[in-house]
């Protein structure tokens, strides 16, 4: 499959399902197939909706020329996106950014918070297709939408361990509380995406145990294509752009005290 970046206008909506209040899974059919890797994202623009900047969304899944995004309604664009129906069109640029690297690890711990579930679903799918890698998936969430996320993992044969802040599903509390139940955690690498406070806590735990980590970071994007530096974060190698050198960064590279 070619790996060039593609700018597609008139991408067709195949479905746009509300899986839980404010949470949608949308399927998009692109004119051609371009290979994307877990952790990469697309930039989306609605047609005829007065949208100034494109908006970034992680790729939740790709099967040939069908891309899926899992999104939560937050503001104007996501609200308008939720109104699209089968047969409607929009415009996207993908794949963008760097995906999770091939680590060669035999045990991988995926830890998601909120809609950070989306890129890790794609990563879990890639690992499920490659034999011999043991995958554990910890999902943290503020509430019961996590049950819908769990259902999305079932076709992959990946079992989820859940923590919710309100205790409505799984263990009550934050997702990092689940680490103590994994006795062989030092044998894993951790790939995680979610709120930055969660990522900081994970890095601090992992660093103290010598566990390798990869994080997907979110920041407010302007161009999303590497031109404006509006998304830059501080790292031990100076400023790096989340949209270009990221969004996946190795934990040891990030200047955590500055983000
Ligand atoms: C690399 C990357 C991948 C992303 N992947 C996904 C994804 O898979 N699914 C998904 O639902 N969202 C994802 N996002 C966030 C998504 O881009 C925003 O939800 C979207 O831009 C909101 O647009 P809006 O016009 O609806 O809301 P806006 O009007 O832009 O924002 C509404 C409110 O939400 C807040 N907000 C905006 N973006 C974020 C954010 N990233 N985190 C927390 N609060 C935010 C704003 O500060 C504001 O208060 C991703 C962001 C990045 C940078
Ligand atoms: S958003 Fe413009 S460089 Fe990243």
CA distances from 48 to 40, 45, 94 (A): 26, 9, 20
Q: Which residues pair with 56 in a beta bridge?
A: 43
Alpha carbons 197 and 63: distance in angstroms, whole number: 33
Q: Model pTM?
A: 0.94
CATH number at residue 19: 2.40.30.10
Asked if residue 231 belongs to a domain, the reply is no
The C-alpha torsion from 177 through 179 and 183 to 186, rounded to 10°, is -150
- Name the closest-CA residue to atom 39, ligand 1: 220
Residues 153 and 73 in one domain: no
Between the alpha carbon of residue 181 and those of residues 138, 175, 176, 177, the distances in Å are 11, 11, 10, 8
- Which ligand does the CA of 116 lie closest to? 1
CB distance 50 to ligand 1 below 6 Å: no
212 and 111 in one domain? yes
Q: What is the pLDDT of residue 2?
A: 42
Nearest to 222 by CA among 244, 203, 200: 244
Atom of ligand 2 nearest to the CA of 226: 3
Asked if residue 61 and residue 27 are part of one domain, the reply reads yes
- Ligand (nearest to CA of 224): 2
Give me the pLDDT at residue 254, please.
97
Candidate of 56, 217, 243, 245 to mutate for ligand 2, largest count of ligand atoms within 8 Å of Cβ: 243
Could you tell me the CATH number of the domain that includes residue 205? 3.40.50.80
The reply to whether ligand 1 has any atom less than 6 angstroms from the CB of 115 is yes
Helix (H, G, I), strand (E, B) or coil at 48: coil
Q: Which residues of the chain have pLDDT under 50?
A: 1-2
Is there a single domain that holds both residue 124 and residue 51? no
Domain-located, residue 255: no
Q: Distance from the CA of 76 to the center of ligand 1, in angstroms? A: 10
Question: Does residue 64 fall inside a structural domain?
Answer: yes
187 and 210 in a common domain: yes
User: How many domains would you assign to the chain?
Assistant: 2
Structural domain of 138: 107-216
Instruction: Note whether residue 112 is domain-resident.
Output: yes
Q: With a 6 A CB cut-off, is 38 part of the ligand 1 pocket?
A: no
Q: Identify each DSSP E strand in the chain by its residue range.
A: 6-20, 23-29, 41-46, 55-58, 61-63, 66-72, 89-96, 107-113, 134-141, 160-164, 171-172, 189-193, 213-216, 232-235, 238-241, 248-250
Q: Decide if 239 is inside a domain.
A: no
The span from the CA of 198 to the CA of 39, in Å, is 18
190 in Cβ contact with 207 (< 8 Å): no
Ligand 2, residue 242: give the atom nearest the CA. Answer: 4
Angle subtended at Cα 253 by Cα 247 and Cα 254, rounded to the nearest 5 degrees:
65
User: Token pair of 101, please?
Assistant: 């690297």
pLDDT for residue 148: 93
Most ligand 2 atoms within 8 A of CB, residue of 218, 229, 233 to mutate: 229
Residue nearest (by alpha carbon) to ligand 1 atom 11 = 71
Cα 63 from Cα 85, distance rounded (Å): 20
Ligand number, closest to the Cα atom of 46 = 1
- Give dist(CA 240, CA 233) in Å, integer: 6
User: Can you give the pLDDT at residue 4?
Assistant: 58
Instruction: Supply the pLDDT for residue 10.
Output: 82
């Amino acid at each position: 499959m070619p790996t060039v970046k593609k700018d597609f206008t008139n991408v067709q909506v195949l479905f746009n399902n509300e899986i839980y209040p404010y949470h949608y899974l949308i399927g998009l059919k692109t004119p051609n197939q371009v290979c994307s890797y877990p952790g990469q994202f697309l930039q989306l623009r609605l047609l005829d909706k007065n949208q100034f900047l494109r908006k970034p969304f992680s790729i939740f899944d790709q099967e040939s020329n069908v891309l899926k995004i899992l999104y939560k309604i937050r503001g104007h664009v996501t609200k308008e996106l939720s109104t699209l129906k089968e047969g409607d069109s929009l415009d996207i640029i993908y794949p963008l950014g760097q995906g999770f690297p091939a680590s060669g690890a035999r045990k991988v711990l995926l830890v998601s918070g909120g809609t950070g579930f989306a890129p890790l679903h794609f990563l879990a799918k890639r690992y499920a297709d490659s034999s011999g890698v043991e995958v554990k998936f910890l999902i943290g969430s503020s509430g019961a939408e996590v049950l819908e996320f769990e259902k999305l993992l079932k076709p992959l044969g990946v079992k989820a361990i859940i923590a919710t802040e309100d205790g409505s599903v799984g263990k009550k509390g934050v997702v990092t509380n689940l680490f103590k139940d994994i006795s062989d955690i030092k044998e894993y690498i951790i790939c995680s995406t979610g709120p930055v406070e969660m990522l900081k806590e994970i890095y601090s735990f992992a660093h103290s145990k010598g566990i390798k980590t990869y994080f997907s970071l979110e920041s407010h994007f302007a161009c999303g294509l590497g031109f404006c530096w509006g998304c830059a974060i501080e790292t031990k190698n100076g400023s790096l752009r989340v949209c270009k050198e990221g969004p996946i960064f190795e934990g040891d590279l990030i200047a955590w005290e500055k983000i």
